[in-house]
A and B are shown apart, each in its own frame.
Chain A
């Protein structure tokens, strides 16, 4: 069974960074890209970017290029997103989602990131 298990909620101070994880199981991690999606409180879904775990190659939406860094550890089948220089605009739920030709076919449960001093 394919599962994407994300880490727990995070609280970060303005100006700091947080790193959240997405552990994949039930499939070959390097065979699929991993997307990351942001959902601000009460808002819709925004695509942040994706990473190809096999090669480490990434692609980002323009507005997240200086905000998010995507990495993957093939030894632990885990994808990560690091959010830097946190502001209140970064308070949101962040989802990982496996990417295939059949869209984003499996999603993590989401991680709430709260930016607060």
Chain B
């Protein structure tokens, strides 16, 4: 199985700040990397697919990049609704696997 490692696990940040969350795969995943946001009420929203493509309706302050084994999610200027959990997920191979999550919290 491909292991996905996210860092940091917790990220204190301020409104308006630019933040980056990292995700590393245990082997190359050829850009087959997706990002999801989970709100405190449990609702899960897809953000980015195939490394850098925004899902419909996702604000442009979100962006993704990476290649090989290393990927990242960047939020250019934090809004109040962005404080949530974030997960990366690979779909290069089965079983699909997720990173352990990053909690983005208000500093």
Interface of A with B (CB < 8 Å)? 35, 44-47, 49, 59-62, 93, 95, 97, 101-107, 109-110
Contacts and interface: CB of A to CB of B under 8 A. Distances in A.
Most buried by B among A59, A101, A102, A103: A103
Contact of B91 (A62, A95, A103, A109): A103
A95 to B, nearest CB: 7
Contacts of B46: 102-107
B43 interface: yes
Contacts of A93: 42
Contacts of B99: 44
Contact of A109 (B42, B55, B97, B101): B42
A46 B97 CA distance: 7
Nearest to A100: B49
Interface string B64-107: 00000000000000000000000101010011111111000000
Interface residues of B, number: 22
Contacts, number: 57
Which 8 pairs across A and B sit closest by C-beta, in order of nearness? A61-B95, A103-B34, A103-B49, A47-B96, A45-B98, A102-B49, A107-B44, A44-B101
B42 A44 contact: no
Contacts of A101: 49-50
Contacts of A110: 42, 44
